[in-house]
Amino acid sequence: QQPVQSPQAVILREGEDAVINCSSSKALYSVHWYRQKHGEAPVFLMILLKGGEQKGHEKISASFNEKKQQSSLYLTASQLSYSGTYFCGPGRTDSWGKLQFGAGTQVVVTP
């Protein structure tokens, strides 16, 4: 089952903030976030571990609520380089050893 991401898309001006949410119907031990720029492969951004530990990238941070099986990605003071599609996925393989991703959130940052 695919994690559910919201919103599907967001348009920001440089300097604005945004939040991307990811929720799972299955127990999550950890959460990964990836970013894919147009025409490129997805690139790992960060991992969120059980217990709420956050590991940030640039001015992008995230939180993980394992009880609610939810994670949120925070784009703070967005830059043009933040444009791309963001995917969440279970950081650790579930009992079937699969790494399934959300459908993605497209972020466009304009000047």
Partner 1 sequence: DADVTQTPRNRITKTGKRIMLECSQTKGHDRMYWYRQDPGLGLRLIYYSFDVKDINKGEISDGYSVSRQAQAKFSLSLESAIPNQTALYFCATSDGAEEKLFFGSGTQLSVL
Contact residues toward partner 1 (CB under 8 A) are 2, 30, 32, 34, 40-44, 47, 87, 91-93, 96-104
**In the complex with partner 1, which residue's Cβ is closer, 16 or 92?**
92
| Residue whose entry in the numeric block shows the structure tokens 């099986």 | 69
Spatial separation of the C-alpha atoms in residues 109 and 15, rounded to whole Å: 9
Q: Least separation, in Å, of the C-beta of 41 and partner 1?
A: 4
Spatial separation of the C-alpha atoms in residues 62 and 83, rounded to whole Å: 17
**In the complex with partner 1, which residue's Cβ is closer, 13 or 96?**
96
Helix (H) or strand (E) holding 22: strand 18-23
**In the complex with partner 1, which residue's Cβ is closer, 55 or 59?**
55
